[in-house]
Amino acid sequence: MQENKVMEEAAAPAERKRAALIIRRPFKLAEEYWDTLGPGLTTGAADDDPSGIATYSQASARYGLQLIWLSLFTYPFMVVVQEMCARIGIVSGQGLAANIREQYRARTLYIVTGLLFFANVLNIAADLGAMAAATRLLAPSIGFEMLVIFFALLSLTLQIFTTYARYAKFLKYLALALLSYAVVAFSVGLDWKDVLSHTLVPTITFSKDQIFLICGILGTTISPYLFFWQTSQEVEEKILKGEATVEERREGVNPESVSRMRTDVWSGMLFSNLITFFIFAACAGTLFAHGITNIATADQAALALRPFGEFAFFLFAIGIVGTGLLAVPVLAGSAAYAISESFGWNHGLYRKLDQAYAFYGVIIVAMLIGIIANFLRLDPIQALIYSAVANGVIAPIILYFVVRLSSNADLMGEHANKPLIAGIGWMTIVFMAISGIAAILSFFM
C-alpha cells in the first residue's frame, strides 16, 4: 500500500507536466501559425482600406444583402492572383516591375506604372481624408487638415525611419484592427440565415448604378497596387533572412518556403474577404434595413451606425483609422516599388533614406499630393470613381503580365503555373476587363 502511494506521488509531476503540455498545445500551434503569416496577411488586410469600406458600405446600404455574394465570389480569384505574385517574388528574387522590365518592352511598363501612381494617389487622398474624418467623429475639436497632415507624417515616419523588420511587424499587428467589423456585425442583431442565403445565391439587377458598384468592388478587391506590394514584400522577407543578391534569393527557394507562402497568402485573402463579408452584413442589417441608402464616405457609414449603438459606431470609426494606417503605406510603397524597379533605381524599405533617395522620394511625393488633394477638398466619391476606373483599366494589363510571368517555365522552373491555376488567372483578366469597360461606359452614359 505504502509502495503504491510512493509510486503515485512520483508519477504525479509527470502527469501534471503532460497535462500542461496538452493545454499549451493549441496556443503553441496558434503561435506557430501566426509566425507563418506575413506579407499575405498585410496585403489582404490593406485591401480593406477606407476607400474599400466606403464602397462596401455604399453597396450594402443601397442594395442590402444583394451583392454580399461578391465577398465569396472574389475569393478564389484573389487567392490565385496574389499567390502568383508571391511565387514570382520568391522564385525570381525580384519585384514584379523588375521582372516585367526584363521580359517585355519598357514603354508598356512606364504607362502602367504611371496609371498605377495616379490610382494610388487618389486612393491615398481618399484614405487620408477618411481617417481624418473618422477621428473627428471621436474627437471633433481637432482640425481636419491637421489630422490629414498628422496621419501622412506618421505613415512617412514609419516607412522611412524604422527598420523593415519592425515596420513589417507593426503592419501585421495593425491588421487585427479589421476584427472590429466582425464585432460590429455580431452586435447588431442580424438574421444570419438570410445573410448566408444571399452569400451563397448570387443576385444582380444589371442597373447602371449596380454595374458601377460591382466594378468598384472588384477594383478595390483585386487591386493592381496589391500585385506589386505582394511580390516586393516576398523579396524583402528573403533579404531580411540574409539573401542579399538576386542569385542568393533564387537559390534559396525550397518547397518549405513555397508552402509557408501559400499558407500566408490563402490566410491573408480569407481574412480580407471575411472582413468584406462582415462590412456588407453589418451595413445591410442596419443602414439598408432602416432606409439609409446613400453613404458617400467611410466616416458617414460610421456616423450612420450611431443610432444602432455607440459601441458599433465607435468600433466602425476606430476600424477606419486602423485600416487607413495599414493601407496608406502600402499604397505609397507599391507605387514606389513599381516606379523604382521600372527605372532601375535602388529600392526597398530595408534600405535607409540615403541609400534610396528616389524610392523614398516617390513615397513622399505621393503623400504630398494626397495631402494637397484634401486641402483642395477633393470630392471623396469622385476620387473613388476615378481610382476605380483607373484600376479597372490597368488591372487586366498587369494581370496579363502576372499570368504570363508565373507561367514562364524558364523563369519559374518547377514552380510555374499548373493549367488550372493559369486558367483561373485568365478568367480573372476577363472579369476585370469586362468590369473596367462597364465602369467606363456607365461613367459616360
For 251, residues 6+ apart whose C-beta sits below 8 A from its C-beta are: none
Mean pLDDT, rounded, of the chain:
83
For residue range 211-238, list pLDDT tens digits in order: 778 887 887 788 888 899 889 888 888 8
301 in a structural domain: yes
41 in a structural domain: no
Q: Is 201 exposed, middle or buried (0-12, 13-18, 19+ CB in 10 A)?
A: exposed
- Which pLDDT score, from 0 to 100, does residue 164 have? 64
Among residues 15, 17, 68, 100, which one has the least CA distance to residue 397?
100
Q: What's the total number of domains in the chain? A: 2
37 in a structural domain: no
- Which pLDDT score, from 0 to 100, does residue 253 have? 79
Indicate if the pLDDT at residue 9 is higher than 70.
Answer: no
Indicate if the pLDDT at residue 123 is higher than 70.
Answer: yes
Helix axes 144-161 and 164-174, enclosed angle (nearest 10): 130
1/145 same-domain check:
no
356 in a structural domain: yes
At residue 21 the predicted structure's pLDDT band, cuts being 50, 70 and 90, is: low
User: Averaged over 260-270, what is the pLDDT?
Assistant: 89
Q: Which of 30-39, 43-52, 63-72, 417-426 has the lowest mean pLDDT?
A: 30-39
- Which pLDDT score, from 0 to 100, does residue 148 have? 93
- Which pLDDT score, from 0 to 100, does residue 50 have? 82
56's grid cell: 462596401
39 in a structural domain: no
- Which pLDDT score, from 0 to 100, does residue 14 have? 57
User: Averaged over 337-347, what is the pLDDT?
Assistant: 91
- Which pLDDT score, from 0 to 100, does residue 427 have? 94
Indicate if the pLDDT at residue 173 is higher than 70.
Answer: yes
- SS percent in the chain: helix, strand, coil, step 5: 85, 0, 15
Amino acid at 221: T
Return left, alpha or beta for 307; rule: phi > 0 is left, psi -120 to 50 is alpha, else beta. alpha
52/24 same-domain check:
no
40 in a structural domain: no
How many other C-beta atoms lie within 10 A of the C-beta of residue 291? 7
At residue 23 the predicted structure's pLDDT band, cuts being 50, 70 and 90, is: low
For 273, residues 6+ apart whose C-beta sits below 8 A from its C-beta are: 71, 72, 74, 75, 78, 221
Q: DSSP per residue over 347-403, as a string? A: --TTS-GGG-HHHHHHHHHHHHHHHHHHHTT--HHHHHHHHHHHHHHHHHHHHHHHH
291/254 same-domain check:
yes
Indicate if the pLDDT at residue 28 is higher than 80.
Answer: no
Q: What is the CATH number of the domain that holds 175?
A: 1.20.1740.10
278/151 same-domain check:
yes
- Which pLDDT score, from 0 to 100, does residue 107 have? 80
At residue 146 the predicted structure's pLDDT band, cuts being 50, 70 and 90, is: very high
For 414, residues 6+ apart whose C-beta sits below 8 A from its C-beta are: none
309 in a structural domain: yes
154/20 same-domain check:
no
Residue pair 113/415 in contact by the 8 Å Cβ criterion: no
Domain of residue 101 covers 46-444
For 204, residues 6+ apart whose C-beta sits below 8 A from its C-beta are: 66, 67, 210, 214
d(CA 364, CA 333): 10
Indicate if the pLDDT at residue 153 is higher than 90.
Answer: yes
- Which pLDDT score, from 0 to 100, does residue 389 have? 65
Per the listing, cell 474577404 goes with: 273
28/98 same-domain check:
no
How far the first Cα of the chain sits from its last, in Å, is 94
For residue range 278-317, list pLDDT tens digits in order: 989 988 888 888 888 777 777 777 777 777 778 778 888 8
Q: Is 82 exposed, middle or buried (0-12, 13-18, 19+ CB in 10 A)?
A: buried
- Which pLDDT score, from 0 to 100, does residue 5 have? 53
- Which pLDDT score, from 0 to 100, does residue 81 have? 93
234's grid cell: 516576398
- Which pLDDT score, from 0 to 100, does residue 288 have? 86
- Which pLDDT score, from 0 to 100, does residue 16 have? 58
- Which pLDDT score, from 0 to 100, does residue 429 have? 92
Residue pair 210/64 in contact by the 8 Å Cβ criterion: no
Which phi and psi angles does 351 have, rounded to 5°?
-85, 155
Residue pair 299/175 in contact by the 8 Å Cβ criterion: no
Amino acid at 283: C
User: Averaged over 362-391, what is the pLDDT?
Assistant: 79
For residue range 310-337, list pLDDT tens digits in order: 877 888 888 888 888 888 888 999 999 9
202/334 same-domain check:
yes
d(CA 340, CA 353): 14
322/378 same-domain check:
yes
Among residues 232, 258, 249, which one has the least CA distance to residue 329?
232
| Percent over 90 (pLDDT), the chain | 25
318's grid cell: 476606430
428 in a structural domain: yes
Amino acid at 195: V
124/266 same-domain check:
yes
- Which pLDDT score, from 0 to 100, does residue 384 have? 62
d(CA 57, CA 62): 8
Indicate if the pLDDT at residue 147 is higher than 90.
Answer: yes
| Percent over 70 (pLDDT), the chain | 87
- Which pLDDT score, from 0 to 100, does residue 158 have? 84
28/118 same-domain check:
no
For residue range 424-435, list pLDDT tens digits in order: 999 999 988 887
- Which pLDDT score, from 0 to 100, does residue 19 have? 57
129/225 same-domain check:
yes
The pTM for the full model equals: 0.85
Which H or E run contains 211?
helix 208-221
297/177 same-domain check:
yes
